[in-house]
Amino acid sequence: MKQYGAEFFGTFWLVLGGCGSAVLAAAFPGVGIGLLGVSLAFGLTVLTMAYAIGHISGCHLNPAVSIGLWAGGRFPAGQLLPYIAAQVLGGIVAGGVLYLIASGKAGFDVGAGFAANGYGAHSPGGYSLHAALLSEVVMTMMFLLIILGATDARAPQGFAPLPIGFALTLIHLITIPVTNTSVNPARSTGVAVYVGDWAMSQLWLFWLAPIVGALLGAVVYRLIAEPQPA
């Protein structure tokens, strides 16, 4: 239960910190942090939580990561569903806290986006379904490749949170214009449930694509990293 609690609070922090930066601070008059700041905020949530709870739960914070680690032989199948449930619940609770904070401002409109992920008319840059699908699959694949490599027993020990956090920052720098960046079904669900409407109708993509990408990342890492038989 401690592991599941750690995943709940870790994912809570990721959604509150990452999506909160987008909703509350990205366009704040005069000092808005913009795309660069939001990207960094997401990376920092993972970096800080990796050091805080990595020794408790592994700090997955993401159903796609848990599935990818299972496919990579690093995580038991029996813990997948409880981990995913804790992550999604943590994301939804964080979305609720963010909603309560954001709605304290006059004129707040959750329908304006609320950091939800989308494609087509709901893509920040107007990107198509196919572009969004490819973006999410490839970025999650690379994210899993980096996670598996950084946490490999042969990698330098104690530094894994740094490349993982920086990788998530880089992914956001690339793909916020395309989908608002998901690579994480729990992050997408955590805000989509409050937007409803289009965000919920497009949510399937932000479950399917990250999971497919995570499985591909696990396969690729096994191909390039596992020692060949003599």
- The pLDDT tens digits of the residues spanning 68-108 come to 999 999 999 999 999 999 999 999 999 999 999 999 988 88
Give the mean model confidence (pLDDT) for residues 161-171: 96
Q: Is the pLDDT of residue 229 over 80?
A: no
Residue 163, helix vs strand vs coil: helix
What pLDDT sits at residue 210? 98
Average per-residue pLDDT for the chain: 94
Distance CA(86)–CA(9), nearest Å, equals 9
- Map out the domains of the chain as residue ranges: 2-225
Q: What is the pLDDT of residues 27-80, one digit of tens each?
A: 888 888 899 999 999 999 999 999 999 999 999 999 999 999 999 999 999 999
Q: What is the pLDDT of residues 137-159, one digit of tens each?
A: 999 999 999 999 999 988 888 89
Any idea which of 19-33, 177-191, 211-225 has the lowest mean pLDDT? 19-33
Would you tell me the crossing angle of helices 63-71 and 185-195 to the nearest 10 degrees?
150
Environment class of residue 64 by beta-carbon count within 10 Å: exposed (0-12), middle (13-18) or buried (19+)?
buried
CATH number of 2-225: 1.20.1080.10
- pTM metric for this prediction: 0.93
Task: Assess contact for 220 and 71: CB atoms under 8 A.
Answer: no
